[in-house]
Amino acid sequence: MTDTVERKSLTREDLLDVYRTMRTIREFEERVHAEFATGDIPGFVHLYAGEEASAAGVCSNLDDRDTIASTHRGHGHCIARGVDVAEMMAEIYGRRTGSCHGKGGSMHIADLSKGMLGANGIVGGGPPLICGTALAAKIKGTGGVSVAFFGDGGSNQGTTLESLNLASVWNLPAVFVAENNGYAETTSSTWSVASDNIADRAAGFGMPGVIVDGFDFFAAHEAAREAIARAREGGGPTLIEMKFTRYFGHFEGDQQTYRAGEVSHARAELDCLKRFADRVTETGELSRADLDAVDAEVAALIEAAVEAAKAAPLPTEADLLTDVYVRY
Amino acid sequence: MGDAVVGVVANPLSGRDIRRLVTQASVFPTAEKANMIQRMLTAFGAVGVHRVLLSTDLGGISAAVFRAIGRRRGQEPKYPRWPEVEFLDGQPIRQTAQDTVDAVRRMVTAGARVIVCLGGDGTARVAASAAGDVPLLALSTGTNNVFPAVREATVAGLAAGLIATGAVPAQGADGVTARAKLLEVRVGDRVETALVDVATSTERHVGARAIWDPATVTQLFCAFAEPDAIGLSAIAGQLLPVARHDPHGVTMRLAPDAARQVLAPIAPGLVVPVGVSSIERLEAGPVHHVDARAGVIAVDGERELAFGPGEHPAVRLRADGPWCVDVAAVLAASARLGLLERVRNFNPQGG
Amino acid sequence: MARNITYREAINEALVQEMERDETVIVMGEDNAGGAGAPGEDDAWGGVLGVTKGLYHKFPGRVLDTPISESAFIGAAVGAATAGLRPVAELMFVDFMGVCFDQIYNQAAKFRYMFGGKAVTPVVIRTMYGAGLRAAAQHSQCLYPLFTHIPGLKVVLPATPYDAKGLLTQAIRDNDPVIFFEHKALYDMSGPVPEESYALPFGEANVVREGADVTIVTLGRMVHTSLSAAAELAASDGVQCEVIDLRTTSPLDADTVLESVEATGRLVVVDEAHPRCSIATDISALVAQRAFGALRAPIEMVTAPHTPVPFSTALEDIFIPDAQRIANAVKTVTGWNP
Amino acid sequence: MNPVTDERIVPVTMPKWGLSMRLGKITAWIVAEGDEVKAGDDLADIETDKITGTLEAATPGTVRRIVARVGEDVPVSGTIALIAPVGVSDADLDAAVADARAVIDAGVPEDADGAGVPVVQTADVRGRKVSFAGAGADGDVVLLIHGFGGDRDSWLFLQEPLAARHQVYALDLPGHGTSSKNLVAGAGPETPAGAGPDAPAGAGPDAPPGPDAPPGPGDPAGLLADAVVGVLDAIPASRAHLVGHSMGGAVALAVAARDPRRIASLTLIAPSGFGRQINAGYLRGFADAQTRRELKPLVGQLFADDKLVTRQVVDDLLAYKRLDGVEAALHALLDSLLGGDEQRGDSAAVLAAIGDAMPVTVVWGRQDQIIPAEQAQAVAGAVRYVIEGAGHMPHMERPVEVQTAIEDTIARAG
């Protein structure tokens, strides 16, 4: 193992940032869940709650040179990449002040200036794109790494499998993060993923594949740290499978009659925020008061985001025709 | 229904941890785990095992065996006889080590006379903790494997079957089963066991579990240390080898800048110099407190227990580890007894 | 200075000049060099019909062979475009869009709009189209209407070597995703092309022949078939056809079409694609809606039939619109007597 | 096939208007069979792929036969009509028509670009490529200098006729035609912005100017004069007659001022710099125009009769304007030509400095909409021709009269 890329350990500030990220995602999603039920939020909304450790664990290893591509369940990745939360909320409400001026919605929040190549309404849409951003980083010599998040459903798409192959053939600085939350819509991954473990497919593409407890921030962070360092050093792509479950349905409104009781078990026993808080307070790295302060800060942030979103103007008819092309 | 019962537990997650990424460790495919069980079923059937209790999993191993049984249904004459297979379902599967514990407990309760365990050191350790006095036959399908044997499953299946049917008595004088040693770690009221080694690490979190950076290891306790081992026990194996059947173990303090350095394969694909500041025999019985104030305890190469100031983890070598089947000894006994000899027209149904 | 080179050479020259001019331009596609990983030459083909020949050695590291994985590498070109490169990806035959269309129409085309104007995706997808090489149903189609339908894409179909170079140059410099259609039967066509770089703007139709009697609107290879028909008609019947090469179907130069029909009062649309939901129907609808008062005869369309492209020489020759069918259509509109 | 034996039959042939012309098409016959014509009478309107022009009668007589039909492509020098006295028999005429038809029907021979077509040459002027083409083997050297946005093809009606008695060269000024487009000081050959890492050291825009550094960015006109001198050196010509149009007239003056002994005569056609007034809207519009729709009405302003502007003329100009570097070059020149909406240069002062070192002629189209013909009065000491029925491009609209002016000027130089 080479050591040309520094594996720095997490400082107190890092841990606070990580907790803030995961708490912000959780609060954001719980709030969207509640607001959706009131009927104020249009369209399809897919919530990330339960999976926070993956977004935070991976993105806490990234910097300005790096790019991620996300999924339809993309709020967590956006927040972990630093996309403005108020603009995200406004976008979900379809407001002109939203990240995409109300033209994208929940499934298309993006901020290329933050290395966030977009949530994506197409399952398996992201992996080919990050092959491209990784290629650009490689050709331009920026040292940037690109990360594709996709789900167990996306893992079965030809686009994803082709991208794993291409990334290996071109030896791209890429990391493929399979977020296996157990269900593609209603369909169990134990049924739909023939290799059962998504990570097992990595061997077929000549890259390492590892399974990580997706509820454990430290496990996710460490695996991502190694994979990203390897990619930065020119070692090529890695496939990481995060195993966990989502706390909400496929989309808001899903009655989830296909599920058993795993959510209450996960919330009670496995929850990433709870585990993280327990761990860092046990080790004394952070105090309960530190965490409470972050909780309060995040609650205020989300409250303000919702209030601002509700009060924000809607796009106008003139906005309908703009930004189709740079120039036409 | 007879009482020649074998339990088979297979860990679907073994062989997939971060060492695939950091040390190019091998991948053990799910399909091969399922194939191993099928080869064992043939061996079990050949020596007259009545019933097999098989753990269920979400990784696809039990599902593959189930499909194989389905394909045979109605076409049995074309295939070698398999025992009846009972799938231990009905319990929630958590995709954690607890699944292995639950399965082994059910096998013991259901009267298994031998338990075959497919996995690595970690799987064997967890299975052993639940097996009580039922002999264990650990087969390697993992990464960092010292404890389980790398054996053809058919041969292992014959050995397990001969024990289960009583054709080779488990407690006979031939040494076909023997007690392994055990390392016990206590941190407050938390207890973990290890079959090979216990290490203290300066890492603060369990994280991705595996240990691959020797600089983080400060203290090492080994139940045995073979010179040809892979993993942390290989460090001791080159300096003060201890056999599985020796009554004692070995303990060391490590420091990267120690004068004494040994080149050791501490993980697959990782041969590194390790500084050893002290090494001594570890006798069974006495309690050793670890030096570090805070850190993580790794058992059999996996970080399991984090501890903080005031917790003072304690390690003890015990002689009363799990009973383990010695495949070579079983089949040697079988040879002496002529158990696999047959006359023509032998009817296996009459056995 | 202008000298005669082929359509293939014109495309190659545009690639060379743009790659020299801008180091962010890269080229990728199946066999674009040819021979990656193989024991022989490593610029063996230069594309399946030799269009990218010679680039590999001229621009080390910027001409990438790809696995046969259109989704992955077309998507990679799109992704790379968002990250500061100007990739020119080759989709060998447009018929293969079926295995990568998502990356084009759901990703590249929509980024800018979906992301509220925050994305720029300067990707060019070069692709071969058209019948005439006995390549049968899955290697001969004219699928540009499908791309033209998608907001966010620009669709370009050069008919001559001059246009090929200038339009490809513009496509590479353009900041929007461009689908660049190359007719495989035109690659050996020769014509005058300046040695210097130049960019032809999109959305400007080319009046390739002026005439007062009938407007023929066409594109791609059919420009030449239409010109043949127009020359024959002028000689035999004295009918003067104005032939308009659309050059780009998105953006569309509606004004040139409408101005011409306003003058001639008669329209024949000639399109090698199938007749339904096509450029032919689109132009017909445009004129019917916006120049109805000028029309002195019903609009005629000359297209391929609503069948897959056949293989046999005997069938493909009648599948492709020819000058005789165009001339007949022109005679129909000139002879119209209400 | 009988050769035409009756020498009284004078064929009217398809003219060759420019080096690249191979075919012409009669768009209208102005005369009919039986009409009497005198020299200079209009015979027919002829369209080439470059321009539409009117063919004038060279000899008087009766138009006995019209050979070429309207709309028909006729090879250059193919017979399109026969002029003959009444005495020539119908049979002889029919035989001549048959011969002529055979030529027309045969079309353009494959090797039409054969001998006699001048080879294009290039001169290297301070690292820039300057293209020029010559015709004619004997006589004085005449160098034709086009104007703003033009190229050597603008002399298509003049170069060959003049070449009958002179060595006639036409160049493409830097920024025009096929010459280098880069007018930026210090840069050698075109080095694109953002050139790749493979660009040779010193060739980039950052390279310091050498001892022979060309004029700075504020003096692109000086660079044009350099190009003319460079072409004279490359021909090589120790003495030459210069013919300059519009901006090219000012360039010719500048060259003459640098070395009056080398320039035998000056013919200035609608030269710039002899007054303040100019059609700045045209100049800016031409430099800015991006589409045919924008360009066509502007180009029409160049001519007294804007119907001369064919689609091909506009397309060729657009093709030129779209070459990399042209837009920048035109704007650089524009800045040197215009101050506000007025002309910046002072050609009268340059001319005064030259004094009477050489004969000077000025030619202007009466209907010039770019630079008013009145400015001809400011060309002190010059012989003046103001041509009716011509705009800013008399050498295209009235080439015969311009040719006469040039020949007279050359003759005055002795």
Do C185 and C268 reside in the same domain of the chain?
no
> Among the three residues D106, D141, D162, which one is the final residue of a domain in this structure?
D106
The pLDDT score that the predictor gives to residue B89 is 87
List, in order of start, the domains of chain A with CATH numbers. 12-313 (3.40.50.970)
Q: For residue A136, which residues of chain C lie inside 8 Å, CB to CB?
A: 79-80, 83-85
Chain-chain contact of C199 with D71 (C-beta, under 8 angstroms): no
Lookup: tokens for D140:
């004085």
**C-alpha pair distances (Å), A159 with each of A74, A166, C71:** 18, 10, 6
Would you say the C-alpha torsion A114, A119, A120, A124 has a positive or negative sign?
A: positive
Shortest distance, CA A321 to any CA of chain C (angstroms): 9
Do C92 and C215 reside in the same domain of the chain?
no
Is A183:A246 a contact under the CB 8 Å cutoff?
yes
What CATH number should be reported for the domain holding residue D379? 3.40.50.1820
B with A: 3 or more CB pairs under 8 Å? yes
Kindly state the DSSP code that residue B180 receives in the 8-state scheme.
P
Among residues C139, C183, C224, C274, which one is catalytic?
A: C139
Chain-chain contact of A222 with B18 (C-beta, under 8 angstroms): yes
Do C156 and C240 reside in the same domain of the chain?
no
d(CA B162, CA B190): 38
Lookup: tokens for B153:
């499953």
C with A: 3 or more CB pairs under 8 Å? yes
Mutate to test the interface with B, among A222, A245, A270 (most CBs of B within 10 A): A222
Q: Is residue D1 assigned to a domain?
A: no
* Tokens 């049995």 sit on residue: B76
Q: For residue A181, which residues of chain B lie inside 8 Å, CB to CB?
A: none
The pLDDT score that the predictor gives to residue A105 is 95
Shortest distance, CA C209 to any CA of chain A (angstroms): 26
Q: Is residue C140 assigned to a domain?
A: yes
Environment class of residue B257 by beta-carbon count within 10 Å: exposed (0-12), middle (13-18) or buried (19+)?
exposed
d(CA B331, CA B137): 14
Nearest Cα residue to D192 out of C24, C8, C26, C1: C24
Do D46 and D142 reside in the same domain of the chain?
no
Q: What is the mean pLDDT of residues B323-329?
A: 95
Please give the share of chain B, as a percent, with pLDDT higher than 70: 97
C with D: 3 or more CB pairs under 8 Å? yes
Element of type H or E holding C260: helix C254-264
What pLDDT digit, counting tens, does each position of B144-177 carry?
Answer: 688 998 899 999 999 999 999 999 998 877 789 9
What pLDDT digit, counting tens, does each position of A36-54 carry?
Answer: 999 999 999 999 999 999 9
Per-residue pLDDT tens listing for chain C (338 residues): 578 999 999 999 999 999 999 999 999 999 998 888 888 887 888 888 889 999 999 999 999 999 999 999 999 999 999 999 999 999 999 999 999 999 999 999 999 999 999 999 999 999 999 999 999 999 999 999 999 999 999 999 999 999 999 999 999 999 999 999 999 999 999 999 999 999 999 999 999 999 999 999 999 999 999 999 999 999 899 999 999 999 999 999 999 999 999 999 999 999 999 999 999 999 999 999 999 999 999 999 999 999 999 999 999 999 999 999 999 999 999 999 87
User: What fold is seen in the domain B5-179+322-350?
Assistant: Rossmann fold (3.40.50)
* Tokens 């920024």 sit on residue: D175
Shortest distance, CA B156 to any CA of chain A (angstroms): 26
- Total tally of structural domains belonging to chain C: 2
> B270-282 and B260-267 as β-strands: parallel, antiparallel, unpaired?
antiparallel
Is B6:B44 a contact under the CB 8 Å cutoff?
yes
Mutate to test the interface with A, among B13, B18, B216 (most CBs of A within 10 A): B18
The pLDDT score that the predictor gives to residue B127 is 94
Question: If DSSP states are collapsed to H, E and C, what string results for chain A?
Answer: CCCCCCCCCCCHHHHHHHHHHHHHHHHHHHHHHHHHHCCCCCCCCCCCCCCHHHHHHHHCCCCCCCEEECCCCCHHHHHHCCCCHHHHHHHHCCCCCCCCCCCCCHHHCCEHHHCECCCCCCCCCHHHHHHHHHHHHHHHCCCCCEEEEEECCHHHCHHHHHHHHHHHHCCCCEEEEEEECCEECCEEHHHHCCCCCHHHHHHHHCCCEEEEECCCHHHHHHHHHHHHHHHHCCCCCEEEEEECCCCCCCCCCCCCCCCCCHHHHHHHHHCHHHHHHHHHHHCCCCCHHHHHHHHHHHHHHHHHHHHHHHHCCCCCHHHHCCCCCCCC
- Name residues whose C-beta falls within 8 Å of residue B61's C-beta, 6 or more positions apart in sequence: B10, B12, B30, B33, B34, B37
Do C323 and C247 reside in the same domain of the chain?
yes
Nearest Cα residue to D405 out of D226, D245, D203: D245
Say whether pLDDT at A62 is over 50.
yes
C306 catalytic residue (yes or no): no
The type of residue at A184 is: A
* Tokens 């011409």 sit on residue: C260
Specify the range with the lowest mean pLDDT, choosing from B21-30, C107-116, D337-346: B21-30
What CATH number should be reported for the domain holding residue C27? 3.40.50.970
Q: How many residues does chain A have?
A: 328
The pLDDT score that the predictor gives to residue D185 is 56
Do D28 and D163 reside in the same domain of the chain?
no
Is A198:A178 a contact under the CB 8 Å cutoff?
yes
Q: Is residue D124 assigned to a domain?
A: yes
Mutate to test the interface with C, among D176, D180, D292, D322 (most CBs of C within 10 A): D322
C-alpha angle D209-D215-D218 in degrees, rounded to nearest 5: 115
d(CA D49, CA D39): 26
> D52-56 and D42-47 as β-strands: parallel, antiparallel, unpaired?
antiparallel
Specify the range with the lowest mean pLDDT, choosing from B83-87, D236-240, D312-316: D312-316
ipTM of the complex: 0.77
Residue A113 in contact with partner chain C when CB distance is under 8 A: yes
Chain-chain contact of A136 with C69 (C-beta, under 8 angstroms): no
A with D: 3 or more CB pairs under 8 Å? no
Do D284 and D388 reside in the same domain of the chain?
yes
What CATH number should be reported for the domain holding residue D60? 2.40.50.100
Mutate to test the interface with C, among D113, D120, D122, D323 (most CBs of C within 10 A): D323
Binding partners of A (≥3 Cβ pairs within 8 A)? B, C
Band the pLDDT of D113: cuts 50, 70, 90. very low
Do D357 and D250 reside in the same domain of the chain?
yes
For B165, the 3-state DSSP assignment is coil
Q: For residue A129, which residues of chain C lie inside 8 Å, CB to CB?
A: 75-76, 78-79, 82, 103, 107
Q: What is the mean pLDDT of chain A?
A: 94
Band the pLDDT of B342: cuts 50, 70, 90. confident
d(CA C18, CA B265): 53
What pLDDT digit, counting tens, does each position of D199-244 carry?
Answer: 333 333 333 333 344 444 447 778 999 999 999 999 999 999 999 9
Smallest Cβ–Cβ distance between D291 and the set C23, C204, C234 belongs to C204
Pairs of residues, one from chain A and one from chain B, whose beta carbons lie less than 8 Å apart: 95
Do C144 and C15 reside in the same domain of the chain?
yes
Do D97 and D214 reside in the same domain of the chain?
no
Q: What is the mean pLDDT of residues D289-295?
A: 90
Lookup: tokens for B316:
């003890």
Shortest distance, CA C119 to any CA of chain A (angstroms): 7
Q: Which residues of C10-33 are buried (b: 16+ CB within 10 A; e: fewer)?
A: bbbbbbbbbbbbbbbbbbbbbbbb
d(CA A277, CA D366): 92
The domain made up of B182-318 is a member of CATH 1.10.3470:
no
Nearest Cα residue to D263 out of D242, D232, D234, D233: D242
With CA atoms as reference, the chain C residue closest to D70 would be C238
Do C6 and C106 reside in the same domain of the chain?
yes
Band the pLDDT of D50: cuts 50, 70, 90. low
* Tokens 């040693």 sit on residue: B181
Q: Which residues of A117-149 are buried (b: 16+ CB within 10 A; e: fewer)?
A: bbbbbbbbbbbbbbbbbbbbbbbbeebbbbbbb
Residue C21 in contact with partner chain D when CB distance is under 8 A: yes
Is B136:B324 a contact under the CB 8 Å cutoff?
yes
d(CA B8, CA B103): 9
What pLDDT digit, counting tens, does each position of D357-399 carry?
Answer: 999 999 999 999 999 999 999 999 999 999 999 999 999 989 8
Which domain, by its residues, includes D14? 10-106
Chain-chain contact of C197 with D293 (C-beta, under 8 angstroms): no
Chain-chain contact of A125 with C80 (C-beta, under 8 angstroms): no
> Among the three residues D56, D75, D106, which one is the final residue of a domain in this structure?
D106
Specify the range with the lowest mean pLDDT, choosing from A233-242, B2-11, B216-225: B2-11
Kindly state the DSSP code that residue C22 receives in the 8-state scheme.
-
d(CA C56, CA C75): 21
What pLDDT digit, counting tens, does each position of B291-313 carry?
Answer: 998 899 999 988 899 898 888 99
Is A248:A29 a contact under the CB 8 Å cutoff?
yes
Strand partners, C216: C243, C268
Q: Report the phi/psi class of residue C31: left, alpha or beta, with left for phi > 0 and alpha for psi in -120 to 50.
A: left
d(CA D338, CA A51): 67
Q: Is residue D113 assigned to a domain?
A: no
Kindly state the DSSP code that residue C293 receives in the 8-state scheme.
G
Do D394 and D289 reside in the same domain of the chain?
yes
d(CA B78, CA B76): 5
Chain-chain contact of D71 with C238 (C-beta, under 8 angstroms): yes
> Among the three residues C194, C217, C233, which one is the final residue of a domain in this structure?
C194
d(CA D74, CA D97): 14
Kindly state the DSSP code that residue D261 receives in the 8-state scheme.
G
Element of type H or E holding B328: helix B327-337
Specify the range with the lowest mean pLDDT, choosing from B85-94, B195-204, D187-196: D187-196
Shortest distance, CA D241 to any CA of chain C (angstroms): 27
Specify the range with the lowest mean pLDDT, choosing from A242-251, D8-17, D154-163: D8-17
Which domain, by its residues, includes C15? 2-194
Would you say the C-alpha torsion C25, C26, C29, C32 has a positive or negative sign?
A: positive
> Among the three residues D106, D130, D164, which one is the final residue of a domain in this structure?
D106
Written as one string, the DSSP assignment of C146-193 is: HHHTSTT-EEE---SHHHHHHHHHHHHH-SS-EEEEEEGGGTT-EEEE
Do D156 and D91 reside in the same domain of the chain?
no
Say whether pLDDT at B344 is over 80.
no
Do C230 and C283 reside in the same domain of the chain?
yes
Do D213 and D264 reside in the same domain of the chain?
yes
The pLDDT score that the predictor gives to residue D18 is 64
Q: Which residues of D100-127 are buried (b: 16+ CB within 10 A; e: fewer)?
A: beebbeeeeeeeeeeeeebeeebbebbb
For D348, the 3-state DSSP assignment is helix
**C-alpha pair distances (Å), D50 with each of A45, D55, D112:** 63, 15, 18
Do C230 and C312 reside in the same domain of the chain?
yes
Residue A76 in contact with partner chain B when CB distance is under 8 A: no
- Total tally of structural domains belonging to chain D: 2
Band the pLDDT of B347: cuts 50, 70, 90. low
Mutate to test the interface with C, among A68, A133, A164 (most CBs of C within 10 A): A133
Band the pLDDT of D59: cuts 50, 70, 90. confident
Going through D30-154 in order, the beta strands assigned E by DSSP cover 36-37, 42-47, 52-56, 61-66, 73-75, 79-83, 120-125, 128-135, 141-145
User: Which has more confidence, D362 or A282?
Assistant: D362
Do D93 and D156 reside in the same domain of the chain?
no
Chain-chain contact of A283 with B58 (C-beta, under 8 angstroms): no
Shortest distance, CA B140 to any CA of chain A (angstroms): 18
Chain-chain contact of A132 with C120 (C-beta, under 8 angstroms): no
Q: What is the mean pLDDT of residues D68-96?
A: 87
What pLDDT digit, counting tens, does each position of A192-224 carry?
Answer: 998 888 999 998 998 999 999 999 999 999 999
Residue C113 in contact with partner chain A when CB distance is under 8 A: yes
Residue A222 in contact with partner chain B when CB distance is under 8 A: yes
The pLDDT score that the predictor gives to residue D195 is 35
Residue A137 in contact with partner chain C when CB distance is under 8 A: yes
Do D101 and D169 reside in the same domain of the chain?
no
Chain-chain contact of A218 with B206 (C-beta, under 8 angstroms): yes
With CA atoms as reference, the chain A residue closest to B29 would be A200
Strand partners, B67: none
Lookup: tokens for A292:
């409470």
Chain-chain contact of B21 with A212 (C-beta, under 8 angstroms): no
Binding partners of C (≥3 Cβ pairs within 8 A)? A, D
The pLDDT score that the predictor gives to residue A8 is 65
**C-alpha pair distances (Å), B70 with each of B63, B66, B251, D123:** 10, 6, 51, 88
For C288, the 3-state DSSP assignment is helix
Residue A274 in contact with partner chain B when CB distance is under 8 A: no
Do D24 and D137 reside in the same domain of the chain?
no
